[in-house]
Amino acid sequence: MSTIAPTPAPSSAAAERPARPPYEVTAARVLRSEWAKAWSLRSTWITLGLGLLFLVAFGLIAAYQFKSRLTSGRHMDRDFADANALTLSLFGTNFAQLALGVLGVLIAAGEYSTGMIRSTLAAVPRRLPVLWAKALVYGAVALVLATAGVFVAFLLGSGILSGTKAALTFSDPGVVRGLFGAGLYLALVGVIGVALGMLLRSIAGGISVLVASLMLVPGLVSLLPSSWHDHINPYLPSNAGQAMFALTHDSTTLSPGAGLAVFALWTVAALAGAAVRLLRRDA
């Protein structure tokens, strides 16, 4: 005769164990996710390193060339002859902006090229927090790196130019403001790169539009009649951004505050376009 052992009743501790709370998407978690994804890419380390190298190296080269030509009596064109320690030290911003802007495009559009964006949007179905987190994380990284780079470039460049007519120190009017302005400009270029990557969803397309808006459009505008050129040129993204860290200004350029306002509007416009497409179009 066989017997069936009775099934033991669940213990009271197991019965009273609370259910695991559902996963909640929070701003902090989205930020941590984007931070981890950004630093997991080898291109992040390489491109940030190039941006820092461009800032410091080209600033030192410009300062050395100025002093070499000055002491040897070689001819210098007017723009170079009127340069000062700030403009010479910030010579590398024209190259660093490309590195930081391109990395912004890669961070955003790279997920579309690999298909990872589907997993990202599945985890964050409201979508817009992904854009804000990418822009905030990369903008903060670019701001810290660019600000540190321009201060190092000026510190080393001013040492080379000490005793020349271009010499400046941190205590001179407008120098510290110009250095912080240059760092902020480069950070906003990176944010625009993120926005273009999310808007166009193409690495090649985002880089092309970024380079065109920063470097090609000003040249095309210069071909317009002077009456149009003088009214349009100061409000172009690159020219408005350069006004943020210029030491001197005239009637054809914006003031630092106006330059910051105009460039911030360009940044907001790029982010708004990216947000609209993110909401209206599937990945």
pLDDT tens-digit series, residues 19-30: 555 567 888 889
How many other C-beta atoms are found inside a 10 Å radius of the C-beta of residue 44?
Answer: 17
Buried b or exposed e, range 128-163, using 16+ CB within 10 angstroms: ebbbebbbbbbbebbbebbbebbbbbbeebbebbee
**Alpha-carbon distance 160 to 154, whole Å?**
10
**Alpha-carbon distance 142 to 148, whole Å?**
10
Is residue 150 over pLDDT 70? yes
**Alpha-carbon distance 151 to 154, whole Å?**
5
Band of pLDDT at residue 6, cut at 50, 70 and 90: low
**Alpha-carbon distance 174 to 164, whole Å?**
19
Q: Which position has the higher pLDDT, 220 or 58?
A: 58
In the numeric block, which tokens belong to residue 62?
């410009």
163-198 per-position pLDDT tens digit:
888 889 999 999 999 999 999 999 999 999 999 999
pTM summary value: 0.88
Degrees, nearest 5: CA angle 99-170-59: 30
